[in-house]
Structure formats: C-alpha cells, structure tokens
C-alpha cells in the first residue's frame, strides 16, 4: 500500500515549513507529508490523491487563510476523504469557529498555535487520531478503478472489455458511492460523461475507446515486426488454436483481435463438452489458459486492433489495421467467427447494455441477484445462460420460439433446465417490445398459441438468437456464400471446377479459401460445426496446411 498522506495547509510559509519539519521528524517512516499554501492548492492536491486512490489519513489545516478558511476547506475536502481525521490549527481568537466546526464538519481536534514542544502538544494528539484512523479505514484498492452507473451501455462496454481481457479492476457505482460520485463530478465539469477510469499512476480516461483503454492498461496493441510467416485474424478458440500450433512449430506468428481473446467461447459461463474438463470450464478460464499458452510459444497477440481489409500482392498477404497501419505475411488465417444476431424489436437499441444484453454478459450476473430475468432463445447457449443466471436471479424465464426446448438444445441441458426450480420455460413465445427510460423495466411478450400480448416487469433480458459471420474484411477477396460465410476446400469445387481465378495446379486445401495462402477456420466457415473443439481442431489443421503452402512460396 502507498504510504498514507498527512496534508498540511497554511498560507504563512514559515509556519507551514515548521509544521512539516515537526511532522516529518515523527511520522516520516509511516506517512508522507504533502503541503499546500492555500485552500485552492490543497483541494487540487486532494483531488489528485483521490484520483490515484492514495489514502489520506489526516488534514492539518490553518483556520485563518485568505479566500478559503480552514473550516471551509475541510468541509469541501472531507467529501472526498470522509474517513480522514480533521485537525484545525487555530489562534486563540479562532476558538469559537473551531468549536462550531466540531459539530458542522466533524472536526476531530483543534490545536492552538504554537504547539511547542511537539512531544507534548502535537504528537500525542496526532498519534491518537492516526491510530484511530488506521483501525477503521479500509485498505485502498491499488489497481484500475472504473466509476460509473450500472445502467449505462458505455460503462458496461468498458467493464466487459477489461474483464474479458483479464485486466482486474474495481467497480465504483456512483449511485451508491458518494465519494466516487464527488470525484467523477470534479472531473466532468459540464456534462457527465461515463465511465471514468482511474489508473494507479494518477492518469484518468473518460469514456475511452477500446484501443486507448487497452494501451493504458498495458495490453499489446501494436506489432513489433512488419512481416510474419502467418497472421491469424480473430482470437477465438480457432485463432488461439492456430496461434498455439503455429508458434510452437516455429512459425513467426501474429494473432490480431479486435476485442478480447476467447471470442464467443470467452463469454460462455460454462463449457461442459470440451475435452479434458470433466466438470466444465468457464470460457474466461479457457481463454486465459490458451492466451498464456500461445504467448509462451512466442505468438504475438495484439488486442483492441481490428483488421479492416485484406490485400494480395503475391507472394504477400497484407492486412490493413484499424489504426491505419499494415502488416504483411505469407499465409493468412481468417478466424473471425460470428456475432449474435440482433433482436430488432421496438425500444431495444437504447437499452442495449442497460438491462438488455447479447450473450451471457457474465460480468453483469451479480447485479441481478434476487431479480427476475428473461432469456431469449432455445439453443445451447441460451440453455447455458439460463443455468448460469439461475444461480443469481430469483427467477429465470426462457422465451423460446419453438414448441419445445429439445428441438434446439442438447438433451443434457434440457434435463438440467427441467430440474432447476427457478427456471420457467415459455415455448412458442417471443419478445415484441422492450420498455424503460434509462434502463430496462419491462418487456412485452407474445404467445403464438393464445395470441395474447402481455407487458411484464423485467430486470434484465439476455438474448441468444443466432449468428452473422464477420467477413467484411475479405469481401470481394475470397468467395463467400449468400449469408456471408467463407467457402473453403471442397466447397469451392463445383462439378469438378476449381474456383474462378484459381491458377494453381492443385485443388484448394481442406481449409483454404478461393485465394491460395488464405485459410478460414472456425465458425466463420460455411457449414461449420459451431463448437469450441471443432474451432480449436481447425486451427491446428490450418497450421499444417500453412506448412504445406509455405513450401511452395
Ligand atoms: C454464450 C455461448 C456459449 C457457448 N457454449 C459452447 C459450449 O458449451 N460448447 C461448445 O463447443 N461451443 C460453445 N459455443 C460456441 C463456441 O463458442 C464457438 O463455436 C467458438 O467460439 C467459435 O470459435 P471461433 O474462433 O471460430 O470464433 P469466435 O469465438 O467467434 O471468435 C472470433 C474472434 O474474432 C474476432 N474478430 C472478428 N472480426 C475481427 C476483425 N475484423 N479483426 C480482428 N478480430 C476480429 C472477434 O472479436 C472474436 O474474438 C458457445 C457460444 C456462445 C456465444
């Protein structure tokens, strides 16, 4: 823990220096003295200390100062550090003001000037106050702190980004934490922009974008080389699988991810069917392990960096990045996966992130303890979500369009749901409208059997309704099906005909696209089996195909 601070404030420099000297002599080993010669300077120092989350143990403040009296300063500064002990330095004539302050601002003590000898008149009083402070004050959190409101989409994005990138942080809800609110308000003078992210070095970011946040949080966002043997786009299970095998087999490997490693799997609360984890593994844990493993073999992993386009300049494949830079390679693996399909019902857009979430939104689970939450969807991911939220929420209602769960879900999950008391399943039912001012308050559900529409209160809505592929970056470069999924290997040869513009004398390899040296793996492929194991397996197979391809470059 950083040394707690004793703040000394006096406008008369000789007095200020004398107090500092005496305090140093006695408290130097345990406390840091910070001095200020005016109320305004002191308030600025307090604000900066708070920003860095440095504990402040004691204010020792002169009562008579121009512009702002000691009492006024303590009233203001005490809002940011309510636990700090407050001592006024007074002259005889100020005694009345000091006594009034005991009630008004919770003054702990007033000291008469001069305080000589300090052994008698200063240290005993302060020792007492400081030991009292030490016994009651909580140890401050020394990492990144994110201050905002629960019902804000931008706050959710920042928390989600940090959590998915395994960057620890402390959440400060400014609706519940008065000190945090004060601090946020001092930084947002005009309009309140959230979240505010505080770093241990005192830096502050207000409503940052992912790349700025990633850079400040120490994640790698830029490549160290201009050229790699293989570049992999997308760090879900398929991309991570390819990175582990590529790097471990000696290829110079870069893995580029726009959000967080782990992809969709990283958002899963519990993956129960992945080989080697008999009790299941959380997506976050699997992502962490795979990321460490890929790094250990020497893969470079860039996060918060999007590939916006791909160009071919034989023998190179060149990727354009969202920061305007480019990287080149001999072989390119597209592992960009899919996104959940959006639910286009009235009222939903402004509430997305504020009670409405796509996917399991694991970071939000604890916020819905004891509440009634709704899940939309009837496939495995919806079932897992329901099981996960049933541990927190009082009640979970699944809204399923099909006439039974078994039509779209693995039987083991159907069985678990049927035996979980606080999960209710409404089949042939859909959400038709979403309601709420700043956060979700209710939804309207429609029963296809009775035709009835009901508006019901809802604390949260978690949506799992299918997928769209991320293939814009290769649009017009490689062949895709009508839904945008990438065609590979045998899917490219029709009636014995190789793809248009294919000049090689061999057929495309199993996971190769219509452009030699560009491969596609995982969910982004046409006909993919959407499973973690298949994605990882394809990542590994793609690397062996890359080796074959590189022999010809
Ligand atoms: C909630 C949930 C639960 C699931 N549970 C299971 C389960 O229990 N068992 C199971 O086997 N499967 C499960 N799945 C399916 C499984 O997670 C997917 O099949 C798997 O993640 C696919 O991996 P992928 O690497 O192909 O793609 P993804 O996981 O989708 O990863 C693709 C990555 O590419 C990144 N990306 C996209 N475009 C770009 C770009 N232009 N530049 C840079 N990066 C980009 C994305 O941000 C993403 O991180 C679940 C899925 C979900 C959503």
**541 close to ligand 1 (CB < 6 Angstrom):** no
pLDDT score recorded for residue 243: 98
**Other beta carbons within 10 Å of 397:** 22
Q: Does the beta carbon of 532 lie inside 6 Å of ligand 1?
A: yes
**Ligand 1 atom nearest residue 385's Cα:** 1
Task: Name the maximum alpha-carbon separation found in the chain.
Answer: 103
Check if 383 has its Cβ closer than 6 Å to any atom of ligand 1: no
Cβ of 307 below 6 Å from ligand 1: yes
User: In this predicted model, what pLDDT tens digit does every residue of 185-200 receive, in sequence order?
Assistant: 888 767 788 999 999 8
Mean of the per-residue pLDDT values for the chain?
A: 93
The closest residue, in CA terms, to atom 12 on ligand 1 is 531
384 lines ligand 1 (CB under 6 A): yes
- Count of positions (residues) in the chain: 553
Question: Which residue puts its alpha carbon closest to atom 37 of ligand 1?
Answer: 336
Residue 298 has pLDDT above 80, yes or no: yes
Q: Within 10 A of 433 (CB to CB), how many other CB atoms are there?
A: 15
Give tens-digit pLDDT for 89-105.
998 878 887 888 888 88
Ligand 1: residue whose CA is nearest its atom 27: 337
* pLDDT beyond 70 at 361: no
Question: Is the beta carbon of 337 within 6 A of some atom in ligand 1?
Answer: yes
pTM (two decimals): 0.76
Give the position, in ligand 1's atom list, of the atom nearest the Cα of 523: 26
Q: Is 343 near ligand 1, meaning CB less than 6 Å away?
A: no
Q: Are 442 and 453 in contact (CB under 8 A)?
A: no
Residue 371 Cα to ligand 1 middle (Å): 29
Q: CA of 439: how far to CAs of 125, 150, 156, 442, in Å?
A: 50, 9, 12, 9
> Ligand 1 centroid vs 535 CA: distance in angstroms?
9
pLDDT at 360: 65
Ligand 1 mean position, distance from CA 12 (Å): 64
Q: Which residue's CA is minimally distant from atom 35 of ligand 1?
A: 234
Write out pLDDT tens, residues 217-245: 999 999 999 999 999 999 999 999 999 99
- Pocket perturbation via mutation, ligand 1, pick of 164, 211, 236 by most ligand atoms within 8 A of CB: 236
Q: Please name the residue whose Cα sits nearest to atom 26 of ligand 1.
A: 522
Q: What is the mean pLDDT of residues 127-156?
A: 88
Does the CB atom of residue 269 touch ligand 1 within 6 A?
A: no
How large a percentage of the chain has pLDDT more than 90? 77
Element (H, E) at 294: helix 283-296
CA 215–ligand 1 middle distance (angstroms): 24
Q: Which residues lie below 8 Å from residue 195, measured CB to CB, with a gap of 6+? A: 146, 147, 148, 152, 154, 155, 158, 159, 206, 207
Please count the CA atoms within 13 angstroms of the CA of 123 that sit on its side-chain side: 13
Of the given ranges (70-74, 164-168, 187-191), which has the lowest mean pLDDT?
187-191
Q: How far does residue 443's CA lie from ligand 1's centre (Å)?
A: 28
Tens digit of each residue's pLDDT (9 = 90 or more) over 439-481: 999 999 999 999 999 999 999 999 998 889 999 999 999 999 9
Q: Which atom of ligand 1 lies closest to the CA of 270? A: 8
């Amino acid at each position: 823990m950083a040394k707690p601070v004793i703040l000394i404030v006096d406008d008369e420099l000789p007095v200020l220096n004398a107090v500092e000297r005496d305090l140093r002599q006695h408290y130097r080993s345990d406390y840091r003295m910070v001095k200020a010669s005016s109320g305004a300077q002191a308030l600025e120092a307090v604000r900066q200390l708070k920003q860095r989350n440095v504990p402040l143990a004691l204010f020792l403040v002169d009562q008579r100062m121009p512009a702002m009296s000691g009492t006024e300063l303590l009233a203001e500064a005490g809002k940011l550090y309510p636990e700090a002990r407050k001592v006024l330095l007074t002259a005889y004539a100020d005694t009345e003001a000091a006594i009034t302050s005991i009630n008004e601002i919770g003054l702990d003590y007033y000291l008469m000037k001069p305080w000589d000898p300090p052994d008698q008149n200063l240290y005993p009083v302060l020792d007492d106050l400081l030991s009292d402070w030490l016994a009651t004050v909580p140890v401050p959190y020394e990492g990144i702190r994110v201050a905002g409101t629960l019902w804000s989409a931008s706050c959710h994005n920042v928390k989600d980004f940090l959590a998915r990138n395994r960057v620890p942080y402390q959440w400060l809800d400014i609706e519940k934490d008065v000190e945090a609110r004060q601090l946020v308000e001092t930084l947002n003078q005009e309009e309140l922009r959230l979240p505010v992210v505080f770093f241990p070095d005192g830096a502050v970011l207000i409503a940052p974008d992912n790349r700025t946040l990633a850079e400040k949080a120490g994640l790698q966002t830029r490549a160290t080389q201009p050229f790699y043997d293989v570049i992999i786009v997308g760090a879900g299970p398929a991309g991570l699988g390819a990175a582990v095998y590529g790097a471990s087999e000696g290829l110079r490997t870069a893995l580029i991810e726009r959000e967080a490693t782990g992809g969709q799997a990283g958002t899963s609360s519990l993956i129960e069917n992945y080989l080697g984890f008999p009790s299941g593994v959380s997506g976050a844990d699997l992502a962490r392990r795979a990321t460490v493993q890929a790094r250990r073999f020497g893969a470079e992993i860039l996060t918060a960096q999007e590939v916006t386009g791909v160009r071919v300049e034989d023998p190179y494949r060149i990727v354009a990045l969202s920061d305007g830079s480019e990287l080149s390679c001999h072989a390119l693996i597209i592992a960009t996966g899919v996104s959940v399909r959006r639910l286009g019902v009235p009222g939903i857009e402004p509430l997305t992130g504020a009670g409405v979430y796509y996917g399991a939104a694991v970071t939000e689970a604890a916020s819905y303890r004891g509440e009634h939450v709704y899940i939309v969807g009837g496939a495995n991911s919806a079932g897992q979500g329901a099981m996960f939220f049933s541990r927190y929420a009082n009640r979970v209602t699944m809204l399923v369009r099909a006439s039974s769960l078994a039509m779209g879900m693995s039987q083991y999950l159907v069985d678990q749901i049927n035996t979980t008391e606080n999960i209710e399943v409404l089949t042939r039912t859909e959400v038709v409208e979403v309601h709420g001012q700043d956060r979700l308050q209710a939804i309207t559900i429609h029963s296809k059997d009775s035709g009835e529409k009901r508006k019901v209160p809802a604390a949260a809505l978690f949506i799992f309704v299918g997928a769209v592929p991320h293939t814009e970056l290769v649009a017009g470069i490689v062949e895709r099906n009508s839904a945008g999924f990438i065609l590979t290997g045998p899917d490219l040869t029709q009636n014995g005909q190789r793809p248009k513009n294919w000049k090689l004398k061999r057929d495309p390899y199993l996971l190769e696209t219509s452009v030699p040296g560009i491969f596609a793996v995982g969910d982004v492929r046409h006909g993919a089996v959407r499973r973690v194991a298949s994605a990882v397996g394809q990542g590994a197979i793609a690397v062996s195909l890359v080796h074959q391809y590189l022999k010809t470059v």
